[in-house]
Amino acid sequence: MMVIKRREEDTSFWPARSRLLMGLVLMLPVLAGCKARNTYHKPPPPEVDVARPLKQDVTTYLYATGQMTATRSVNLVARVQGFLQAIDYRDGAFVHKGDLLFLIEPAPYAAQEQQSRANLASALARAAFGVKQFDRYQALARFDSGSVQQAQQTRADRDSADASVLQAQAALQQADITYGYTHVTAPFDGFVSAHLVSVGQLVGSGQATELAQISALDPIWVNFNVSEQDGARLLARPGEKWKLQVEGPDESDYPHDGRVDYIAPTVDPATGTLALRGVLDNGHLTLRPGNFVHIRVMTGIRHNALLVPAECIGNDQGGRTVFVLTAENKVALRPVTLGPLVGRLQAIEHGVAAEDRVIVNGTESIRTGEVAVPHEVQVTQ
């Protein structure tokens, strides 16, 4: 007979497991009673600062970018041939009209002038003798018919001598001019560039040799272009002097005052722009030819314009916007059209009324249509 022996199970851990299970069962009601209930509490309405737009007169401007250029700038050239004998200025220095800048071998041209002066003296002597001869034979011709032909000859000699005098005078004048070219002087007050030739160099051989450049910087011009529409706005105010202000490199608040002194008679058909030029005082020489500058031209005054802080102006796909608070203290978004910037304030042309409460602070925590708690503030310049 087969005997099947059962493997005896190890029941030594059962008492401990039973106690653990019993403890968990007893704790379930306690845990169920401690469970927190999830309830929604509506957040308080956001607080915002609101202000009514500041009302004041505002100057309107046309803005552009331009480039400075000298009112006068010429190349100094050698107009006679010779060796450069002296350079009588410091590179980049300010010089006055008539100051000597370059000296080009004057001796040969001084000799030519002396020769021309001597030729004139000789011609004057011959002319004086011719006058005496003519007077003499003119008197004889009254009593001696044979002297009539001689009188006519002396008249011709006298006239020829007078012509020789005019020719000698012209030659002397030309010699004086040529001699003057050996002294290259400043044609006007201005700043002279670095010299382009050296002492001892032959200049003026075959063609005019450029020696340096002189530029007048006070006053100074600024050239710029405006659109056809902006040009029409300016031309609509005929007879007025358009005030202009310039802001140079590393400057602010447009410190340089001037006026528009030229408007092109035609619009450039290729670009659709109108060329303008302004003139400004530049006594401190802070503006230099070639500088690119910001320009604004006064176009008028807008009376009782509405201004709000520039930082409260927003953007969306439709353009510029501001938040306002309705009579029910609900947030509303308004599209606006901007006017000129006045310091830290932005003029609003359309979209905001004088009685509107514009949200000037706290816009980051609001949404359109929700109620907000307003705090009244004032807009100041």
For residue 197, what is the domain's CATH number?
2.40.50.100
Rounded percentage of the chain residues whose pLDDT exceeds 90: 54
Mean pLDDT score, 179-188: 94
What is the token pair recorded at 213? 């450049």
Tell me if 13 is assigned to some domain: no
Tell me if 30 is assigned to some domain: no
Least confident of 41-45, 53-57, 273-277, 358-362: 41-45
Mean pLDDT score, 114-133: 83
Whether residues 163 and 187 share a domain: the answer is yes
Whether residues 93 and 200 share a domain: the answer is yes
My answer on whether omega of the bond before 219 falls inside 30° of 0, hence cis, is yes
Q: Amino acid identity, residue 233? A: R
Residue with tokens 């609900």: 330
263 has pLDDT over 70: yes
Tell me if 168 is assigned to some domain: yes
Whether residues 205 and 231 share a domain: the answer is no
Q: What pLDDT, on a 0 to 100 scale, did the predictor assign at position 318?
A: 80
What is the token pair recorded at 199? 């002492």
Q: What pLDDT, on a 0 to 100 scale, did the predictor assign at position 18?
A: 53
Cα 326 versus chain centre, distance: 45
Tell me if 197 is assigned to some domain: yes
- β-pairing, 373-376 with 47-51? parallel
- Please indicate whether residue 300 or residue 76 has the higher confidence score (pLDDT): 76
**Is-contact 48 361, C-beta < 8 A?**
yes
200 has pLDDT over 90: yes
Q: What pLDDT, on a 0 to 100 scale, did the predictor assign at position 59?
A: 87
**Is-contact 278 258, C-beta < 8 A?**
yes
163 has pLDDT over 90: no
Tell me if 311 is assigned to some domain: yes
Rounded percentage of the chain residues whose pLDDT exceeds 70: 87
Whether residues 84 and 148 share a domain: the answer is yes
User: pLDDT of 54-66, one tens digit each?
Assistant: 999 998 888 999 9
* Residue ending a domain, choose from 212, 228, 255: 212
What is the token pair recorded at 292? 């690119």
Whether residues 277 and 295 share a domain: the answer is yes
**Is-contact 62 233, C-beta < 8 A?**
yes
**Is-contact 325 331, C-beta < 8 A?**
yes
What is the token pair recorded at 117? 């002066």
308 has pLDDT over 90: yes
**Is-contact 379 54, C-beta < 8 A?**
yes
194 has pLDDT over 80: yes
Q: What pLDDT, on a 0 to 100 scale, did the predictor assign at position 5?
A: 40
Whether residues 91 and 171 share a domain: the answer is yes
- Please indicate whether residue 38 or residue 197 has the higher confidence score (pLDDT): 197
Whether residues 174 and 239 share a domain: the answer is no
φ/ψ bin of 53: left (φ > 0), alpha (ψ from -120 to 50), beta (otherwise) = beta
Whether residues 197 and 104 share a domain: the answer is yes
* CATH label of the domain that carries residue 294: 2.40.30.170
Least confident of 128-137, 140-149, 154-163, 276-285: 140-149
Q: What pLDDT, on a 0 to 100 scale, did the predictor assign at position 27?
A: 54
**Is-contact 381 343, C-beta < 8 A?**
yes
Domain extent at residue 239: 65-70+216-302
35 has pLDDT over 70: no
Alpha-helix residue ranges (DSSP H) falling in 144-293: 148-181, 228-235
52 has pLDDT over 70: yes
Whether residues 238 and 313 share a domain: the answer is no
User: pLDDT of 78-111, one tens digit each?
Assistant: 999 999 999 999 999 999 999 999 999 999 999 9
168 has pLDDT over 90: no
Tell me if 257 is assigned to some domain: yes
* Residue ending a domain, choose from 197, 212, 227: 212
- Please indicate whether residue 159 or residue 347 has the higher confidence score (pLDDT): 347
Q: Amino acid identity, residue 332? A: A
Whether residues 267 and 202 share a domain: the answer is no
Mean pLDDT score, 37-51: 83
Average pLDDT over the chain reads 85
- How many structural domains compose the chain? 3
* Residue ending a domain, choose from 267, 287, 302: 302
Give the span between the Cα atoms of 222 and 292, in whole angstroms: 9
Residues of 101-112 as b/e, b for ≥16 C-beta within 10 angstroms? bbbbbbeebeeb
Whether residues 207 and 96 share a domain: the answer is yes
Tell me if 5 is assigned to some domain: no
Whether residues 265 and 346 share a domain: the answer is no
Confidence of residue 238 (pLDDT cuts 50, 70, 90): low
Angle between helix axes 107-140 and 148-181 (nearest 10 degrees) is: 160
- Please indicate whether residue 226 or residue 146 has the higher confidence score (pLDDT): 226
Tell me if 23 is assigned to some domain: no
What is the token pair recorded at 49? 């600062």
* CATH label of the domain that carries residue 345: 2.40.420.20
